[in-house]
Amino acid sequence: MMRIPAKSLQAKEAHELVKGLQSYFVSKLNAVALEYGEGKSCEAVVWGRDGGKHGGGSRYEARDTVVFNRGSVNVSQVHYDDDESKKLGSATAISTIIHPRNPHAPSMHMHISWTQMRDGKGYWRIMADLNPSILSESDLDKKIFSATLKETTGTLYEEGKAQGDRYFNIPALGRTRGVSHYYLEGYNSGDFQVDKAFAKEVGERVIDTYISIITAKLKTHPAFTTEKAKEQLAYHTLYLFQVLTLDRGTTSGLLVHDQNDVGIMGSIPSHVNRDILSTWQELMPKPQDELVAALLHALPNETPTPVDVETKKKLANAVRKHYKKYPEALNMQASGESIPPTVDNHS
């Protein structure tokens, strides 16, 4: 598919950066699959925004089901170079989520993006969070992941940590989505090259640290019990709940267009527990209780509850329909800086 790139030189450089991070991470994931699974490499899926006229993207999906429950490493660039009515010039991002099959190995989400306005002004968004299924085993992993972020981001660590903890908070359940969160929003030091190098270093260090964490887990826990698998299924349900009821990035991506629903929903694990999800409906304020009801309606009526491609599309439509009916409910999503509907996040 022919995809027309953004004209901005900074957008081009940002695109090279996120493509490099994508290649780096995919090579590491393939190596893990080779050592601990069947050796099946991630496969590329390409999509175009308006047929490629306004950019698009490519995502690498994990195919080794021995190692991965679900995994997606998505790079996208959308732009409006031919539409002077838009304030946005372009948005370029890598968004990735990895859910290992082994419940002892934690999930991880990372998002790095460069958003540029038509007047040339732009900013970076950098997110990274560690999401274990088994909290009782997460203390060391939390320390390792947080230490990497602190060492790499330096004086920007406390700001990003505070924003991340706010963003990934789940008020209805009285907990956060993960154990270590980082979210630096609207960042621009005034030197694009310095900031680009910073984004690259954060991305590479997060990737390296995560690979070391899951490799250690797969070495020490080559097998897992049915009870641990149930614990993981419960956590995966929480993950779906947070992403589809609170995550501004996911919602924004779904509301702006429907051309990459499956990619945007790439963060959803392969199975959840609809029985658990149903108990959270009554905990939600109005009208968000209706959103949970719509999600339950979109999910197959079985437990464990599979989330396949068609179900992803139904879930995406349920979210879109809800916020078109209740646009004011967008204010009930995760606190923090509003994310413009430009980048295809899968937070």
Percent of all residues in the chain with a pLDDT value above 90, rounded to a whole number: 81
pLDDT of residue 189: 97
pLDDT at 343 over 60: no
Residue type, 30: N
Phi, psi of 78 (to 5 degrees): -115, 150
pLDDT at 41 over 70: yes
pLDDT of residue 220: 97
Mind listing the pLDDT tens digit for each residue in 239-269?
Answer: 999 999 999 888 888 887 677 788 888 889 9
| Predicted confidence band of residue 341 (pLDDT cuts 50, 70, 90) | very low
The H or E element that residue 100 is part of is: strand 88-100
pLDDT of residue 2: 80
| Predicted confidence band of residue 52 (pLDDT cuts 50, 70, 90) | confident
Mind listing the pLDDT tens digit for each residue in 71-89?
Answer: 999 999 999 888 888 888 9
Q: Is 181 within 8 Å of 164 (Cβ atoms)?
A: yes
**For the chain, which residues make up each domain, given as ranges?**
9-224
- DSSP alpha helix (H) spans, the chain: 9-36, 139-153, 157-167, 192-220, 226-245, 248-256, 261-264, 274-279, 288-298, 309-325
pLDDT of residue 253: 81
Q: Is 241 within 8 Å of 170 (Cβ atoms)?
A: yes
Q: Which fold has domain 9-224?
A: oxygen-dependent coproporphyrinogen oxidase (3.40.1500)
Mind listing the pLDDT tens digit for each residue in 135-157?
Answer: 999 999 999 999 999 999 999 99
Min mean pLDDT across 137-151, 281-295, 330-344 is at 330-344
Mean pLDDT of the chain, nearest integer: 93
pLDDT of residue 49: 80
Distance CA 326, CA 305 (A): 27
Cα dihedral: 9, 257, 237, 143 (round 10) = 10
CA-based angle 222:267:69, to the nearest 5?
25
| Predicted confidence band of residue 338 (pLDDT cuts 50, 70, 90) | very low
pLDDT of residue 335: 62
pLDDT at 175 over 80: yes
pLDDT of residue 1: 64
Tokens, residue 10: 């900074």
Tokens, residue 324: 């078109």
pLDDT of residue 305: 98
Taking alpha carbons only, the member of 38, 61, 189, 68 closest to residue 123 is 189
* Residue found under tokens 């430009």: 342
Percent of all residues in the chain with a pLDDT value above 70, rounded to a whole number: 96
Q: How would you class 286 by CB atoms within 10 Å of its CB: exposed for 0-12, middle for 13-18, buried for 19 or more?
A: exposed
Most confident of the ranges 42-51, 203-212, 253-262: 203-212
Q: Helix, strand or coil for residue 317?
A: helix
Distance CA 187, CA 156 (A): 10
pLDDT of residue 24: 98
Q: Stretch 36-42: mean pLDDT, rounded?
A: 98
